[in-house]
Structure 1
Amino acid sequence: MTAVVNMYAKCRRIDEARKMFDRMPERDSVAWNAIVAGYAQNGLAESALGMVARMQEDGVTPDSITLVSALPACANIGSLRTGKSVHGVAIRAGFDSLVNISTALVDMYSKCGAIEKARLVFDRMRLKNVVSWNSMIDGYGQSGDAEEAIRLFKKMLTEGFEPTDVTIMCALHACGELGDLEEGRFVHEMLIRLGLGSDASVMNSLITMYSKCKRIDLAAEIFDCLQAKTLVSWNAMILGYAHNGRTDDALRLFSKMQWENVKPDSFTLVSVIPALADFSVLRQAKCVHGYAIRLCLDGNIFVRTALIDLYAKCGRVNIARKLFDATNERHVTTWNAMIDGYGTHGFGKSAIELFEEMKRSPVKPNDITFLCVLSACSHAGLVDEGQKYFASMKNDYGFEPGMDHYGSMVDLLGRSGKLDEAWDFIQKMLIKPSISVYGAMLGACKIHKNVQLGEEAAKRLFELEPEDGGYHVLLANIYATASMWEDVARVRTMMEKKGLQKTPGCSFIDLKNEVHTFYSGSTNHPQAGRIYARLDRLMDEIKAVGYVPDTESIHDVEEDVKEQLLNTHSEKLAIAFGLINTTPDTTIQIRKNLRICTDCHNATKFIAQVTGREIIVRDIQRFHHFKNGHCSCEDYW
């Protein structure tokens, strides 16, 4: 009858196996081991451990085979306490010296988050096999210590063990996490020598490694050469493109995947949806949402979370909230996506209300949650609230602030005009300030026209990132606002000597299934004549109701030329194009690759007023909703 129990369990008919087990008049250790292993192998870890307890209650002593099933069950449910108990049983029975038991202990401790205990067991092993090494290397990789994983991998090689496909995948994972291209290539060469170049799982790991090492070209070469691409292969390549900023390629590959009748899964959509979010195109958001519904994947919590984030980034925070409210089981990332959505739209109070609701829920905030809340406070000017949450992060939840948290606090203080306080905050940081911190400070100095602190922040930025032209431009703009034209010229000369260029401003608008791109002053659009004619009329209309061009930052040209330069900024061209090609009741939505300038922000308020249109602008920092002559940011951005 034990053989029948085994058969049913291996056929994934565990209920039938249990019925057969219960009918057995007498059960020896072999029978108990069969049902314990059956539950464990079918993913029913708690039932497996429950049967081990019953086994002992029936007076049957667990043997090494029992423990080999029980330890992975402990690992699967992350029960360190139970795992330690099983370890104790193994020691008392003298089984802990067996290679398979010790290896299972290493795996259990690693997966239960006790990596040091796992290493202790590993180091005490008199005999190790390749599975033992794999378990320990993978343990370090999964615990975030990729450097130790690589060191152990090399030690394994020096001790004469030949890596398996699992070893290679663990090593590639560690190389990818470190972004260590040199080590990654070493492992690549090794897997070729081992004859693993045709193993789909290994090659998928190789694609991921090269993607994480920023060599998406090599990842694409490997993907293209794969004879039998699995779903994991497609997912790895799509995710690689998305993470390397190759959004168009990610979407192209997603389309090709469907063309070749490869059915996407939830992981595919979770990779594709963030790529779509970069474009902020509502039409595409609705398409992928419908696709998820047709695949019955819209209920997957991670797909749902990605959709919430997507709609928020497409300017439809109301739809995002409807999806959020319709989500019963919310992951911490779901809360984060909605809080961040409110924050980027400038709805700071809504973000805080949602965060307070989260605190009352079973889901606990993480460090990303606090980053979203701090950012929301910064965009909305909620300084006191932001300072309170920054303190709460450590005092109430035990999270040490990271660089992004510090950067958000500097942005919060600086944006509100508390520049001296922001600078003092930087000086008192417990970690060395990075680019994000000084960048936030420089941006605040630009807003509030503080030359002295702007120079200090820029000095640090030039030391940390000497090749970034954006910070040079920002400093030059600060000088220009203060009419310090000689300093403006000095910065520009510095940029010329370094070969640095200003990132050209461009705006995008989606219309009739096509994304139209406009650069400042560009005339190459097929409708350029109509666009400029409409823009000229528009400028006259908004001047009639009070618009005054902000020409302070432009010099060395006549006043009328200054206005002409301002009037042809990319966002104004995109808005004019939208007005020409849409009906009067259509909301115009554009995306800008840089921060919207003061003049365009002011002009767009007047354009919304005279045309009666709602205009949504997503710049590099946040959303602006213009309606009836007002902006949702209330001129605080």
Structure 2
Amino acid sequence: MFGWSCNGGEHSVSVSCTVVSGLFIGVHISPVRYSSFQVKPPKHIQLDKTLKGLCYSGRLVEAVALLCRTGLEFNPATYALLLQECIFRKEYKKGKRIHAHMIVVGFVLNEYLKTKLLILYAKSGDLRTAHILLDMLLEKSLVSWNAIIAGYVQKGLEDVGLSLYNKMRQRGLIPDQYTFASVFRACASLATLEHGKQAHGVMIKCQIGQNVVVSSALMDMYFKCSDISDGHRVFDTSQNRNAITWTALISGYGQHGRVVEVLNLFHRMKSEGFRPNYVTFISVLSACGHGALVDEAWEYFSSMTRDYGIRPRAQHYAAFVDVLGRVGRLEEAYEFVSNSPYKEHSVIWGAFLWACRIHGDRDLLKLAAKKYFTLEPENAGKYVVLSNAYATFGLWDNVAEVRNMMKESGIVKEPAYSKIEVQKEVHFFLKGDTYHKQSKQIYEMVKLVDFSLNNSAYASQNVAIIKSIKDTRYGLDSIVTHDGVKFPCWPLKDLSSFKQKFSPEAYDQLDVIGIDEAQFFEDLYDFCSEAADRDGKKVIVAGLDGDYLRRKFGSVLDIVPLADSVTKLTARCELCGKRAFFTLRKTEEMQTELIGGADVYMPVCRQHYVAGQVAIEAARVVLESQVQCGSYA
């Protein structure tokens, strides 16, 4: 049984009524009318009408209180109406009280009410109970699948949501617009472009039209996966444009710092008769920050109230503080923060703290840090922000104080994680993670890149680092070494676009080009050949040359004939301690990508790799023969 309680009354109560039954289904109900009842089962039709009347008139709280006080069982339609109102009004606790009442009175749920409860629990974030209800359904409808998928995505468990979507598809159900809206949001959060494109293809194949919500989610997915052209193409083909779709387009360009495009699109949006909303202005102000456009930002900020009647929120004030901070106008930023109606909001002080840290104003940083910390001191992330800010100026006593406060308060920051999609498989990495199947090779390769680039930097050479847009583990425009050193980089889909994006003039000044995760670039050979042979650049390449079956991985091996030197990193065989050149998969799975740790993979020498492959193949033959024997039994 579920662990809920109900404030229900006695099961045996009597009823007397002094009002005409028809009066209870009107728009207005007297506040004291329902309290005149004394209930006597089974003749409680009048009470049933009263509950519905309270619900129709917006008196949900009173309806639930009356329901729980009666201790009587009502018809399914009444429960469905009450649950729907709880879902619509986001009164999830009231909905759980109704469920508790149903359990207390012994009401047997039908499939429709199970689905309603599933939706309620999924929206409330209680996914464990929602999943139990899903398993209870004899016929799992599309509505129930949509609810549980959306619940996991909203909870931040996007990988589970996508897994359920695939499971739903395997059962033969055709997704609808609500399904795809959740799937695209999940793909956007995970930056899984291939999964998103596959879902987009399914949507087109099923001839499912795009409403505003789906179009916006699809655009957001493409933009967050750095596919700007496809994101804009979705907008161009959208049939139902409104402020939401325009804002999604503007925000997408803003995410990539495309200032000119953001401002041009904003003016185009207005010229075509669409009214910007508060989210639109957040994107516009952020773009002004990237472009250091202080005067333009102030004009946009002022126009919110003047031209559109939109009251600026804390995020808008923080965005303008960011604009001032980027150009070093810290005194103005401080005055703006102090005079804002949101001066007690942490997001504004966080923006100001960042500006002080960037421009090296120690006095203002201390002031901002103190204020920032007093707002939401229970937030673990703030301790990290403060510690890093103090460390920037070498204020180690303050750093120690912050960390001691964190320990004394018992606050533990959850370890950071990142993710990357490789060959349609999403890989997750925790900070300090050693459970990935190729963790040793990954750490050693990054260490090699770190060492090589540090040597170049030490020689006062101009260095630029490139990585694949698929790699979002450390942010869109940076890579981080195993010991926490961060380098800015250029995320690219292909290497051929680097010179133009970096600008030909800046490219000519470069001495060294570093390429990380090189196996993802198909044009690796042509780029390295041109950069090294024609342009005289030193090119440092890091990447994987093979998969766990010792097959070629990407184009890394193609550039070996071009290289001045090649360093192949190795580990230690877990079986004999010799040098390990290969990774052995210990399970019988055949798919190319399989996530696992020491229970699935181990680094091994050549001898143990061959022996292990033979043993695994023999075990597979035995298992297949057992299955065949069983099928003829």
TM-score bracket for the superposition, by shorter chain length: 0.5 to 0.7
- Note the C-alpha offset of 1:123: 5.0
Match of 1:527 in 2: 441
Distance 1:520 1:190, change over 3 A: closer
SS at match of 2:517: helix
For the residue of structure 2 that corresponds to 1:527, the secondary structure is helix
TM-score (norm: length of structure 1): 0.62
Q: State the match for 1:137 in structure 2.
A: 55
Q: Residues 530, 453 of structure 1: CA spacing in aligned structure 2 closer, same or farther, 3 A cutoff?
A: closer
Task: Tell me the CA shift for residue 319 of structure 1.
Answer: 1.5
Contact 1:451 1:478 in 2 (8 A): no
What one-letter code is carried by the residue in structure 1 that aligns with 2:133? I
Q: 1:164 Cα deviation (Å)?
A: 5.6
1:377 to partner: Cα distance: 2.9
Of 444, 449, 472, which aligns to 2:355? 444
Corresponding residue for residue 277 of structure 2: 366
2:191 to 280, 285, 306: 280
Tell me the amino acid that sits aligned with residue 304 of structure 1. S
- C-alpha contact (below 8 Å) 2:68/2:98 kept by paired residues: no
CA shift for structure 1 position 290: 0.8
* 2:340 paired residue number: 429
Distance 2:488 2:380 in 1: 20
Return the match for 1:234 from 135, 139, 145: 145
State how far apart, in whole Å, the 1-side matches of 2:279 and 2:21 are.
43
1:159 & 1:502 partners in 2: Cα distance?
A: 47
* Residue of structure 2 equivalent to 1:335: 246
CA distance in 1, matches of 2:124, 2:96: 10
TM-aligned CA deviation for residue 321 of structure 1? 1.0
Which residue of 171, 189, 192 maps to 1:260? Answer: 171
320-329 or 513-522: which moved more?
Answer: 513-522
Specify whether residues 476 and 289 from structure 1 end up closer, same or farther in structure 2 by C-alpha distance, changes over 3 A only.
same
Partner deviation per Cα, 1:81-125 (whole Å, 9 max, x = no partner): xxxxxxxxxxxxxxxx9959974xx4xxxxxxxxxxxxxx45599
- Kindly indicate whether residue 411 of structure 2 is the aligned counterpart of residue 493 of structure 1: no
Matches of 1:357 and 1:132, distance apart in 2: 53
Q: What per-residue deviation string (whole Å, max 9, x for no partner) do you get for residues 497-519 of structure 1?
A: 22334554544332223334455
Give the drift of 1:483.
1.7
Matches within 5 A, 1:186-197: 186-193=97-104
Distance in 2, Cα, partners of 1:324 & 1:131: 48
1:453-464 equivalence runs, <5 A:
453-464=364-375
Q: What do residues 414-440 of structure 1 show as CA deviations (whole Å, max 9, x unaligned)?
A: 344333333333333335633333333
Residue pair 2:71, 2:105 contacting (<8 A) in 1 also? no
**Secondary structure of 1:297 counterpart:** coil
Q: For 1:383 and 1:306, how far apart are their aligned partners in 2?
A: 31
- Residue aligning to 1:391: 302
> 2:193 corresponds to which letter in structure 1?
L
Q: Does structure 2 conserve the Cα–Cα contact (< 8 Å) formed by 1:150 and 1:175? A: no
Report how many aligned residue pairs link the two structures.
463
Which amino acid in 1 is paired with 2:269? M
* Corresponding residue to 2:155 among 235, 244, 250: 244
Q: Is the CA contact 2:220–2:231 (under 8 Å) kept in the aligned structure 1? A: yes
Specify the alignment match of 2:214 in structure 1: 303
Deviation at 1:337, TM superposition (A): 0.8
Residues 505, 570 of structure 1: 8 Å contact kept? no
Q: Which amino acid aligns with 1:368?
A: V
SS in 1 for 2:312: coil
Moved more, 348-357 or 395-404: 395-404
The runs of at least 4 consecutive aligned structure 1 residues that moved more than 6 Å come to 124-129, 156-163, 568-576
Structure 1 residues 307, 197: CA separation in 2 closer, same or farther (over 3 Å shift)? farther
Residue 130 of structure 1 contacts residue 161 of structure 1 at CA under 8 Å; is this kept in 2? no
In percent, how many aligned pairs have the same letter? 32
| Cα distance in 1, alignment partners of residues 526 and 218 from structure 2 | 21
| Counterpart position of 1:512 | 423
Cα pair 1:476 1:488 within 8 Å, conserved: yes
Partner SS for 2:262: helix
Contact 2:176–2:208 (CA under 8 A) maintained in structure 1: yes
What are the superposed Cα offsets for residues 356-385 of structure 1, whole Å, 9 maximum, x if unpaired? 222122433233323333333334433323
- Whether 1:546 aligns to 2:467 is no
Residue-by-residue CA offset, 1:475-532 (whole Å, 9 max, x unaligned): 2222222122222222222222223345545443322233344556666615334454
2:391 to 480, 483, 487: 480
- When the two chains are superposed, the root-mean-square deviation of aligned CA atoms in Å is 4.2
> Displacement of 1:393 after TM fit?
1.8
Is the contact between residue 24 and residue 53 of structure 2 (CA under 8 Å) also seen in structure 1? no
Equivalent residue in structure 2 for 1:377, among 288, 295, 305: 288
Describe the SS at the equivalent of 1:386.
helix
- The one-character-per-residue Cα deviations of 1:205-251 (angstroms, maximum 9, x if unpaired) are 32333233332222222222222222111111111111111111111
Asked if 1:579 corresponds to 2:518, the answer is yes
Secondary structure at 1:363 match in 2: coil
Distance 1:179 1:576, change over 3 A: farther
Q: Indicate conservation of the 8 Å contact 1:520/1:569, yes or no.
A: no
| Aligned residue among 126, 130, 151 for 1:215 | 126
Letter aligned with residue 354 of structure 2:
G
Q: Which residue of 1 aligns with 2:625?
A: none
Give the whole-Å Cα distance in 2 for the aligned partners of 1:217 and 1:319. 37
1:31-90 Cα shifts (integer Å, max 9, x gaps): xxxxxxxxxxxxxxxxxxxxxxxxxxxxxxxxxxxxxxxxxxxxxxxxxxxxxxxxxxxx
Contact 1:102/1:125 (<8 A) preserved: no
Are 1:450 and 1:478, in contact at CA under 8 Å, matched by a contact in 2?
no
- Please point out which of 393, 410, 420 is paired with 2:321: 410
CA distance in 2, matches of 1:298, 1:526: 47
Deviation of 1:389 (Å): 2.2
Maintained 8 Å contact 2:380/2:411: yes
Rounded to whole Å, the distance in 1 between the matches of 2:214 and 2:276 is 20
Distance 1:586 1:185 in 2: 61
Aligned equivalents of 1:423 and 1:530: distance in 2?
Answer: 44
Shift of residue 341 of structure 1?
0.4
Structure 1 counterpart of 2:441, one-letter code? Q
**Structure 1 gap segments, 5+ residues each:** 1-96, 107-120, 141-147, 550-561, 589-608, 616-637
Q: Does 1:269 align with 2:269?
A: no
- CA separation in 1, counterparts of 2:351 and 2:240? 36
Cα separation, partners in 2 of 1:521 and 1:275, compared to 1, 3 Å:
closer
Alpha-carbon distance between aligned partners in 2 of 1:516 and 1:611, rounded to the nearest angstrom: 28
> Under a length normalisation based on structure 2, what TM-score does the superposition of the two structures give?
0.63
Q: What letter corresponds to residue 546 of structure 1 in structure 2? A: Q
Contact residue 29 and residue 57 of structure 2 kept, 8 A: no
Higher alpha-carbon deviation: 385-394 or 281-290:
385-394
Distance change (3 Å), C-alpha of 1:339 and 1:133: farther
Q: Provide closer, same or farther for how the CA distance between residues 441 and 177 of structure 1 changes in structure 2, counting only shifts above 3 A.
A: farther
